[in-house]
Amino acid sequence: MTMSNTGGRRRPPTIHDVAREAGVSRGTVSRVLNGGHYVSPAAQEAVNAAIRKTGYVVNRHARSLITGRSDSVGFLLTEPQERFFEDPNFNVLLRGCTQALASHDIPLLLMLAGTKDERRRITRYITAGHVDGVLLVSSHSGDPVAEELREAGVPLVACGKPIGLGSKVSYVAADDRDGARDMVRHLLSVGRRRIGVVTGPLDTPGGVERLAGYKEVLAEAGIEIDDRLIVSGDYSRASGEAGAERLLAQAPDLDAVFVASDLMAQGVLTALGRTGRRVPQDVAVGGFDDSSAALAARPQLTTIRQPYDRISAEMVRVLLAQIGGEDPAAVILPTELVRREST
């Protein structure tokens, strides 16, 4: 009598064990697992009972081996690392994507491609088919990773419109220009006329579009664009502080600043405070993002809310659709003015 493996190390149950338990074949169990088409109610029930009894969980590796899909997606960050730390938006986005994917039972692989080496390694990993698609967070133009992935035909959804890439890549973005318009209109409505702006990097759509919205509204209001009222930052707190100092030097009479991110707006508040200017009495400050930085700031920031929960949900939806064979799509979501203490 040979020893069965009953007493040995517990081996996870396979589809075979389930089939035997349910008194059906592998094929029937597999069909139940994949939607239950062409399965009789009796078999369906028997299989489900057997799955519960055995504690069976599908072996994704075996499945992937034959289907060619990995049933996982990558969340790829090609920004330099500092932004990841500082920017609260990334957290929200990452969490939203993770949860949206989880509801489809799809794990998210976090990929950081800061250095050249990392980029090569990760590109290789992705193009080898180890993930079915990629959620890309990298707004800067000329991102070589994104371009390579697009060429390799990897399903891809960017957060924010990717400037450098051809139009054939999906993206989900908030309506930057419209948000900027709302904010500047709001600043006008509270009586401000000398409105400065700290833009984002001008090689990002957020940088370009928000500045465009600013200019449009001023033009509509018949206010001349004054170049001394326009400076650029890189979305970091420090660059906001530096930007505000340049603004104050070039145009000490300004009575409002529209800042292209909440984090930079924090820096602006610091710089204004240092010169003794009160916010909002002397200078109104409007941010952008409605990130946690907006609430952390003193005074709390009036800002433009980017619907990050919806953005992440849409990114996942579009990506899964694309993995399923649909064409790339662009989704633009509306923003919302959130009024707090700084205006």
Partner DNA sequence: CATGCTTCTGTGAGCGTTCACAGTAGAGAA
Partner DNA sequence: TTCTCTACTGTGAACGCTCACAGAAGCATG
253 Cβ neighbours under 8 A, 6+ residues apart: 194
x/- string (CB under 7 A) for DNA, residues 29-58? xxx-xx---xxxxxx------------x-x
> With binding defined as CB under 8 A, does residue 194 bind its own copies?
no
> With binding defined as CB under 7 A, does residue 59 bind DNA?
yes
Q: Which is nearer to its own copies, 110 or 202 (CB)?
A: 110
Cβ atoms within 10 A of the Cβ of 265, count? 31
Q: Which 35-54 residues touch its own copies, going by CB under 8 A? A: none
Q: How many residues bind its own copies (CB under 8 A)?
A: 45
Q: How far is the CB of 26 from DNA (least distance, A)?
A: 5
Residues 267 and 68: beta-carbon distance below 8 Å: no
> With binding defined as CB under 7 A, does residue 106 bind DNA?
no
Residues 248 and 216: beta-carbon distance below 8 Å: no
Residue 198: enclosing H or E segment and its boundaries? strand 195-199
Q: Which is nearer to its own copies, 78 or 266 (CB)?
A: 266
Q: Pull the structure tokens for residue 26.
A: 């592998």
Amino acid identity, residue 104? H
> With binding defined as CB under 7 A, does residue 266 bind DNA?
no
List helix spans (H) across the chain. Answer: 15-22, 26-33, 41-54, 60-67, 81-86, 88-102, 116-125, 144-151, 176-189, 205-220, 237-250, 262-274, 292-296, 308-323
x/- string (CB under 8 A) for its own copies, residues 255-284? -----------x---x--x-----------
> With binding defined as CB under 8 A, does residue 70 bind its own copies?
yes
> With binding defined as CB under 7 A, does residue 66 bind DNA?
yes
Task: Select from 105-113, 132-140, 160-168, 329-337 the region that touches its own copies (CB under 8 A).
Answer: 105-113
**Which residue, among 296, 269, 295, 293, has the nearest Cα to 283 in the 3D structure?**
269
Q: How far is the CB of 335 from its own copies (least distance, A)?
A: 20
Q: Which does 107 bind (CB under 5 to 8 A by kind): its own copies, DNA, none?
A: its own copies
170 SS3 class: strand
Residues 136 and 316: beta-carbon distance below 8 Å: no
> With binding defined as CB under 8 A, does residue 105 bind its own copies?
yes
Q: What is the distance between the alpha carbons of residues 333 and 76, in angstroms, rounded to a whole number?
A: 22
Q: Which 114-143 residues touch its own copies, going by CB under 8 A? A: 118, 121, 124-125, 128-130
Compute the radius of gyration of the chain from its Cα atoms.
26
Site residues (vs its own copies, CB under 8 A): 12, 57, 59-62, 64-65, 70, 72, 75, 81, 84-86, 88, 90-92, 94-95, 98-99, 102, 105, 107-112, 118, 121, 124-125, 128-130, 237, 266, 270, 273, 292, 296, 298
Site residues (vs DNA, CB under 7 A): 11-12, 14-16, 23-31, 33-34, 38-43, 56, 58-59, 62-63, 65-67
